[in-house]
Structure 1
């Protein structure tokens, strides 16, 4: 039977872009994106830009990664754009110059912002290319320039002015970016960078860009005019552990030499390679967390007998404490098992460990501890008087604390018993 790779390989969602062809809308995704995702070991799943899809995103589960790429301008109302100071005439000129980009697509905005926020909530790997980087910044509270050419200050020296889009030389146009040291972009392009200049040439197909970078992100590259060309979340970047949240304003997948599939730099495909690495790791983590619950632990006879002795030891100690009866000398040996277990098998904080050792001392000498309890009756009465004055919320918090301590003790005990069983099984 043929292997179903769509079940085995992780799934990367990519939202299509809509265009008009022969009087009908057609959805498409750039083939370079699909080739790289598939080539590095994931399955690209295209989310069509169709009305209502933003309400059906759960239907595309499981989602192991999201790649968002090119598209129209994001609706300015979604990032509460500050007054740009542009005149109506300038807006009209922008719409004329960038007619294919300025037609707002609110459905695509809803789909992509929904996916971006889902990734941020679940720590799903996310790679944003061009518009996808802008979507990521907006989803996290950042803002955009509505038009770089009109809004970025023009008082910069000639050497710092940048053309970010050239319709006459669409694929061949390049401009310099300065790479920030010790960022993923630096590591990917390290062999192509001069240590002093730290510059590479990138393609550029956009008239908008990051204005205010969301607080969680760190820049990875700047254009000479100061525009951020790449950013990432350092707290959500570790591909081996399934963490990857990043935006690139340029298109590394299209940075290829004329009439060739050879990349401009060896580091160009690294963003996709590391992204898919994170996607694969995320899928493994997701599969582990959603796996069927483990079968009940079965101990061999010797371990089962040991467990029963420990349980009985704690039961006797609890009975002594709650009833106030002294210790029966004949049961002293049975109490020792619980005391030894508490002292040698509980890994908690120092304060908790000291408390449990005190409990161990109680188990060893129940009658002596009971006498001390009697001596502390006045303290107990004072505590009860204080508790009567406490509010319901305060008492609830106190009970919650002791309940949590009980849960921690139970979890540690369970882990220790599992560890003992695994050690026995490996012998």
Structure 2
């Protein structure tokens, strides 16, 4: 199947790239594990580049069937309320800046793009999965707040990031019973997750319910139970850890079978959402009401196509619906001429119906010739004797067999 066909069939998941500097130039990228899992479960990842002004062009990325918010730099605190009572001092912020230099740079453009996408999902009910920074974006978009630095503000004993063992580092989280996370991980009460962050959810937005907590009380996963039903296209969830990267060192084997299920359920919701959207715009589902004049035209066109079908399927016995004049076909011809932007499926359907009315005049002439020849043949055969008619039938049977054999040899030779 051509790629153009696939793009109209598979649901589209929007992902915003992350920007870094490589060889003195900006490079935009998205982690391959995200893309692999989106494709594996049947969706098409559409990458929105993190370039200036893209937040004003998001309409150009429609249709949007799902949004994956993933890793990146710290979210600018201007987007959420900072508790002045626990706010970090300038000295502490300077220490955080030096300790997490690769993550503390604020990317205002990425903030704008992703917050806009998150709000679009919330407004339309588009499935949304937030991973790491993405979960923080989702929480902020819904009115929640963040810790500027969990180490400084929580005074925790849990190590949430280890630069010396970046991919191998794990810490325990308690999984809440009855949540999707518990279901994916087979009812495990505690799992070991990876951790690449120094910020995190401080006040969880009211619409969300926690799914997992670290030992220091930090929320590691949340979802909105009011809009969680993947089979119905409902999915709003945030995970602070990276299930796509929780793999055995040196292999593609996951730490737990439940790791890829977040993506599997997400894509299931995305697919269901796409079907729901497509059915809502399908004219066969919601037919517009027609006034008497439109109904009259519709019936005229239907009759036209019925006549055209009979013309298309001319029977040898001459049982063709009578056509009084060319005007019986003009309505269909006018319809086809005025609808030049018909889809391939519509064109195919019309051809199957025998809607060849664009050349209605030639069909009428052809019908007239056939009727004249048939009348002449009946007249000639009527004057022949029974023996002559029997010999004529035998001759045409023989000619039919000879033509079939010669045609078969020519086809084989070609």
Q: Would the TM-score normalized by the shorter structure come out above 0.5?
A: yes
* Corresponding residue for residue 114 of structure 1: 116
Secondary structure of the corresponding residue to residue 257 of structure 1:
coil
Q: Determine the structure 2 residue equivalent to 1:2.
A: 2
- Against the structure 1 CA distance between its residues 140 and 295, is the aligned structure 2 distance closer, same or farther, given a 3 Å change threshold? closer
SS at 2:276 equivalent:
helix
Which residue, 172, 187, 190 being the options, matches 2:168?
A: 172
| Corresponding residue to 2:224 among 227, 233, 244 | 233
Which aligned pairs between 1:270-285 and structure 2 lie closer than 5 A?
270-285=261-276
Q: Please give the root-mean-square deviation of Cα atoms over the aligned residues, in Å.
A: 1.4
Q: Which residue of 2 aligns with 1:149?
A: 151
SS of the equivalent of 2:52 reads: coil
Gapped regions of structure 2 (runs ≥ 5) = 291-414
For 1:203-242, what per-residue CA distance to the aligned partner results, in whole angstroms no more than 9, with x for missing partners?
0000000000000000000000000000000001000000
Q: What is the alpha-carbon distance in structure 1 between the residues aligned to residue 2 and residue 102 of structure 2?
A: 44
Q: SS of the counterpart of 1:181? A: coil
Query: Quick check: 1:214 aligned with 2:205?
Result: yes
- Aligned residue in 1 for 2:310: none
TM-score by length of 2: 0.68
1:243 and 2:245 correspond: no
1:139-187 Cα deviation digits (max 9, x unpaired): 0000000000000045xxxxxx200000000000000000000000000
- Matched with 1:36 is 37
Paired with 2:166 and 2:288, the residues of 1 have a C-alpha distance of 62
Q: Distance in 2 between matches of 1:295 and 1:116?
A: 33
**Partner Cα distance (1:295, 1:219) in 2:** 43
User: Residues 185-334 of structure 1 correspond to what in structure 2 (within 5 A)?
Assistant: 185-190=181-186, 193=188, 198-292=189-283, 294=286
Partner deviation per Cα, 1:188-213 (whole Å, 9 max, x = no partner): 0016x2xxxx1000000000000000
Partner of 1:11: 12
CA distance in 2, matches of 1:295, 1:245: 32
Q: Give the 3-state SS of the residue equivalent to 1:190 in structure 2.
A: coil
TM-score (normalised: structure 1): 0.66
Q: Distance in 2 between matches of 1:73 and 1:181?
A: 31
Post-superposition offset of 1:82: 1.6
CA distance in 2, matches of 1:295, 1:230: 43
Instruction: Report how far residue 292 of structure 1 moved.
Output: 2.2
Match of 2:46 in 1: 45
Q: Does the alignment pair 1:61 with 2:62?
A: yes
Q: C-alpha displacement at 1:7, in angstroms?
A: 1.3
Give the secondary-structure state (helix, strand or coil) at the position aligned to 1:116: helix
Partners of 1:297 and 1:212 lie apart in 2 by 50
How big is the shift at 1:10?
Answer: 0.3
Q: For residue 246 of structure 1, give the secondary structure of its aligned residue in structure 2.
A: strand
Match of 2:158 among 158, 162, 166: 162
TM-superposed deviation, 1:2: 2.6
Deviations 1:74-105 (A, max 9, x none): 00010021223322221111000101111000
Going from structure 1 to structure 2, the CA distance change for 1:295 and 1:86 (only over 3 Å counts) comes to closer
Name the SS of the counterpart of 2:202 in structure 1.
Answer: strand
Correspondence for 1:397: none
Task: State how far apart, in whole Å, the 2-side matches of 1:2 and 1:144 are.
Answer: 45
Whose Rg is larger?
2
Tell me how far apart the structure 2 counterparts of residues 288 and 51 of structure 1 sit (CA, whole Å): 35
1:244 to 1:295, Cα distance in 2 relative to 1, 3 A: closer
C-alpha separation in 2, matches of 1:30 and 1:44: 12
CA distances 1:281-311 after superposition (whole Å, capped 9, x unpaired): 000000011122555799xxxxxxxxxxxxx
Check 1:295–1:55 CA distance in 2 against 1; reply closer, same or farther (3 A cut): closer
> 2:263 and 2:277 mapped to 1: Cα distance?
21
2: CA distance, partners of 1:201 / 1:82? 31
Call closer, same or farther: CA 1:7–1:296 in 2, change over 3 Å: closer
Once structures 1 and 2 are overlaid, which stretch shifts more, 288-297 or 121-130? 288-297
Give the aligned partner of residue 178 of structure 2: 182
* Distance in structure 1 (CA, Å) of the matches to 2:249 and 2:200: 26
